[in-house]
Amino acid sequence: MIKIYHNPRCSKSRQGVAILENSGREFEIIKYLDTVPTTKELTDIIKLLNISPIELVRKNEKIWKEEFKGKELSDSEIIEAMVNNPKLIERPIVINNDKAIVGRPPENISSII
């Protein structure tokens, strides 16, 4: 089943949900600010995305700038920062079986559904 890691306050994330709704496919919405992915889940998502953890970080978030910017962090420390501060996770993330994509721009989602 298709999953979307969604933040309802984000316009790009809302557009991602709309793309999935219009596709007619069944999907699950995970509001990741309410149901924060575990360290293992986030690590698995990053592997599916085939990116490094830093590439999933929203670097313009205030918490990143104040607490993490400019520090030498390991991949595991970056993942822990996102688990402890889920606002740092880029969105939306769509997973379809063994494929995943960050929906920025939202049109990217069409490539995996």
Sequence-distant (≥ 6) Cβ neighbours of residue 35 within 8 angstroms: none
Q: What is the pTM of this model?
A: 0.94
Residues designated catalytic: 10
pLDDT (tens digit per residue) in 15-30: 999 999 999 999 999 9
Domains in the chain, ordered, with CATH? 2-112 (3.40.30.10)
Give all strands (DSSP E) within the chain, no chain letters.
Answer: 2-6, 27-31, 93-96, 99-102
11 with 36: CB under 8 angstroms?
A: no
pLDDT (tens digit per residue) in 89-103: 999 999 999 999 999
Sequence-distant (≥ 6) Cβ neighbours of residue 107 within 8 angstroms: 19
